[in-house]
Chain A
Amino acid sequence: MSVTGSDLLGILAVGIVSVTALIAMLAGVFLKNSARLVMWLGLAGMAGAFAAAWGTYPSAGTAFGGMILAGGYASFFGMLILCAGILTFLLASDYLRKEGVEYPEFYVMVLFAVSGMMLMSAAADLIIVFLGLEIMSVSLYVLAGFMRRREKSIEASLKYFLLGAFATGFLLYGIALIYGTMGTTDLAGIALRFASAPPPSLFWVGAGLLLGGFAFKVGAVPFHMWVPDVYEGSPTPVSGIMSTGGKAAAFAAFLLVFVKSLGGGGAKVQTLLAIFAALSMVTGAVIAIAQKNLKRMLAYSSIAHAGYMLTGLAAANQLGESGVLYYLVAYTFMNIGTFGVISLIEQAEEKRLEFSDYAGLGLRQPFLGIVMSIFLFSLAGIPPLAGFFGKYYVFAAAVDAHMTWLAIVGVLASVVSVYYYLRVVVFMYFHEGPEGAEVISVPLLGSVALLLSAAGVVGIGVFPSSILSLTGWFF
């Protein structure tokens, strides 16, 4: 099989990111104090990749003999993940300097993680799913432990690695069983076989293992145990990209396998997903209430959000699927934004991460107060912000799929969630700050990232159809 031009065009975006990562790595090795240079190089690479993804978006197809999706769906996720990557870069540089760990390797690893995520979301074959997942995961293991002198960071890295390896094992075994029963790892081929005859029960064992592996990556209950420890311990911008780009990639593959290929997988799979969704929404929302540390609160909140998105997946109808994609875009902007503000407020040695540290912030630092409020209101699902429409679409999809109970659980969980999101706002605006609290100077790149995220949250909230028209034809 020879590689054709259209193959290369199909993977242009992810190719640009990978090549940039390699060049950046070499630059980091051979040039001294090259962190800043590497950052700009990476930004340029990702911007180029974004343009490539945008350019190839209209021509949807496959490349490399049906191994990889090109254009369309893959481009959409590529652009989303690249947004997450770009925002992470903008937020990270000052954070790393503040924490005294500004090394080029950070950017290189983020670039590798981004390329893995993009690959995973473009998979047309289970092998590619696995390949992308591993590239992403290994990079994230390293990033989680990037502050290698900090105990919590090391702990996060180790736990993530151990449990991640565990989950990968199951996932790979699931792929093996599916290959064994269906005779192919090609998603289109599996779809054909699945549609023509009911698969043997061994296939369902494989599907269960695979489903568990994906659920682990998106952080859904009961595969969520790693999430709080890892999000809390990782450097804050890493938690940001883990919870957004990582989740987007995992959901992209989840959708490709279970919805596009297996057509929702039938009532049993849908009910199972609904159960996991309900558990995630409730567990995430309830435990988040008790948290004092903002990063830990956001970790539980991200479990709840995984539950909302799983609701759309469980519904397995057109509204649910485009709803999940919309939700991912919304979630990416609002969550990176929130982690971004946290990373600015945070001080070295994990200080200033508690709710009480935000007392009086809204008046002391109006800019941070306003953008943080936008993100939190959106996370809580208040219209007209993006978070509201995300929830609206997945709940409406659940109702359409005759899972009204799931929508009710979801709505109740989001009512509970309002408490812990708005609690931050209450601290920011209705509590007096300590005497002589210092005013943090907001770095330029950081404020650009926050402005972009806030514009995204407001923009796609006011114009939700802009995203829906991009994704409407995928399903």
Chain B
Amino acid sequence: MYPVIGTVLLFPLVGFVVNGLLGSRLKSEKIVGWIGSGAVGLSFLAAVVTLLQMLSVPADLRAQTVNLFTWITAATGTEGSLNVSAALLVDQLSIVMVLVVTGVGFLIHVYSIGYMHVDRGFWRFFSYMNLFIFAMLVLVLADNFLLLFLGWEGVGLCSYLLIGFWYDRKFEKSTTSDAAKKAFIVNRIGDFGFLLGMFLVFTTFGTLKFVSVSRQAMAFAPADPRIFWITLLLFVGATGKSAQIPLHVWLPDAMAGPTPVSALIHAATMVTAGVYMVARTSVLYALSPATMTIVAIVGGATALLAATIGLVQNDIKKVLAYSTISQLGYMFVAVGVGAYAAGMFHLMTHAFFKAVLFLGAGAVIHGMHDEQDIQKMGGLKKYLPTTYWTFLVAALAISGIPPLSGFFSKDEILTKALFNGSTLLWLVGFLTAGLTAFYIFRLFCLIFEGKPRYSAEIHPHEAPPAMRIPLIILAFLSIGGGWVGIPAALGGGNWFGRWLEPVFQPAASVSLLVPDESRVIEHLLMGLTFLLAVGAIFGAYVLYIKREELVKSLRHRFAGPYKVLLNKYYVDEAYDAAVVTPIVKGSQKLLWKWFDVGIVDGAVNGVARLFWLFSNVTRRVQTGVAQSYAVVFMLGILFAIWWLVF
């Protein structure tokens, strides 16, 4: 049905293999860079072809499974059999993800040619990036949980490899390797939940295919405890991958990686995998109102708390990292109130404008010779004009200023939060929207406006064309990317929502939510949010450009809260105190000194001694004398005969 969908996966894999094996021999950065970018670009073209094919058939025929090969077949007798195919589920939902991943991915690859210029790991970078794209595509195209999990782990691995890409560099108080390990280990917790959820899916439904699971689940009573546990465990996985409370702590540290990595993996694509997974299993979630409430609450809390932390951070990438966590929280609010399409819509627009913000930050860091502290910037507008304009566009988009993309997607989420959720949830989202506009323009003003605060030795320069062009394209997408989903309240047709409707229709049919919609309120909400955003932008402008002394006095007056925010609510410290230190201390004092040395070593040494004895016995038998071998043989034969005859 979709003949080229296989090549979508193939190109990045080939790119990975070629650059991975031959990259170090290809002396030219150009070749390596174009192999890497070209692979993703071709993949994008194949995705576009698939989209066109999809458009040419009626809506109910668009979802198709493309079977690549049978992966695991094992008849396990009584329990039903485990049959897993490497099959791709090509439908309206996955094609959106594929287009975002390959499209944004391609632009970021091109950008990286400029950004990673003269890095000694140039080829290694591109091969990892291609591997990431491949794994991410496996994740979004998988037609069953196991294949999705393969992609899920694959992107985790690439994330680990790329966070620690500059393994010999210092990062904050430790090294980039520590940041990479932190990301990996925190994700392990989430993945463990995901695995358990998957096991539970298999024991409940006897299959891992999304389509079959959804079909069978429709017959379950709402609020069935099995569905509750499945969805909750899967959501634990999502909190890890998508950096939601309480597993959000790894994402800020992930900024240790090169900036294109932060843009691609830790903003636009991988971290949205949790949202995608919830959308993919929407029927299960729709059947479990309790989990939905948890998802929405976690999302809302994350959105708000991360946004407040973003207010006071001074590292350009840290601000964006907390912004990403906060925006992901938004998406979970959306899927938590059953507005899956709205969540996916925001996922897409966020990919555009957050990519611009990160790539713009990369251009600034590049132009400022690896400076990341916004207190040491200022007035860069005239040195980096392209970066300035694109960054401004994206900042307006994330703030939710119409008619930029962020306005429509954010508005849809807030509306749905009120209609399907509760007033409190809406209020949280509303406040977050204000905070978002404020921190992003604080960042913007401190970087580009005002007077320079850096030393005279630094001569900022604009990025090379390879970096500028992707920025410009993505900036246009940040403007227009939302026009596919203009709501009916504004006279639009919400084409995006209708496109995804067939995918989420089953979930809607089992859902217990009774949406309460009123167009009057919708207009009111839009107006309110817009005013709040404008007010917040103006506030940031006043505080950081016009009346800088106010910031100091505010900081002074609210020294306590400021410190709490600056230290990110002491979550890292709390985890250290509650989890890490007890484990370390416990393992040193209790486990190591007492349990390990005393009992385990005792046991191990005991076992070792036992093995030693056993080994000695066998060694005595293994004399090297053939006669004694024959004796053992003989004994074996006698035993066999005795066993069979008597």
Contact = CB atoms under 8 A, between A and B. Distances in A.
Contacts of B611: 286, 289-290
A211 B77 CA distance: 28
A281 to B, nearest CB: 15
B641 A204 contact: yes
Interface-centre pick from A162, A222, A268 (highest chain B CB count, 10 A): A222
A59 interface: no
A402 to B, nearest CB: 9
Given A163-B630, A286-B614, A229 B72 contact: no
Contact of A225 (B78, B629, B644): B629
A463 B69 contact: yes
A211 B640 contact: yes
B626 A204 contact: no
A324 to B, nearest CB: 14
B77 to A, nearest CB: 4
Contact of A222 (B69, B74, B626, B635): B635
Interface in A201-242: 201, 204-205, 207-209, 211-212, 215-216, 222-223, 225-226, 228-229
Interface stretch (B324-332, B431-439, B616-624): B616-624
B644 A204 contact: yes
Contacts of A208: 637, 640-641, 643-645
A74 interface: no
Contact of A400 (B76, B632, B636, B637): B76
Interface string B506-537: 00000000000000000000000000000000
B626 to A, nearest CB: 5
Given A289-B611, A290-B615, A212 B70 contact: no
B637 A268 contact: no
Contacts of A204: 641, 644-645
A465 interface: yes
A50 interface: no
A319 B633 contact: no
Interface in B51-104: 69-78
Nearest to B639: A222
Contacts of B643: 208, 268, 271-272, 275
Contacts of A166: 630, 633
Contacts of B621: 225
Contacts of A283: 618
A163 B70 contact: no
Nearest to A399: B76
Contacts of B75: 318-319, 400
Nearest to B612: A290
Contacts of A412: none
B622 A209 contact: no
A220 B505 CA distance: 58
Contacts of B618: 283, 287
Interface string B438-475: 00000000000000000000000000000000000000
B76 A167 contact: no
A225 B76 contact: no
Interface of A: 155, 158-159, 162-163, 166-167, 170, 201, 204-205, 207-209, 211-212, 215-216, 222-223, 225-226, 228-229, 268-269, 271-272, 275, 283, 286-287, 289-290, 317-319, 389, 392-393, 396, 399-400, 462-466, 468-469
Given A205-B645, A225-B621, 4 more contacts: A159-B626, A222-B639, A272-B643, A400-B76
Across chains A and B, which 8 residue pairs bring their CB atoms closest together, nearest first?
A225-B629, A222-B636, A208-B641, A465-B70, A208-B640, A204-B644, A400-B77, A212-B637
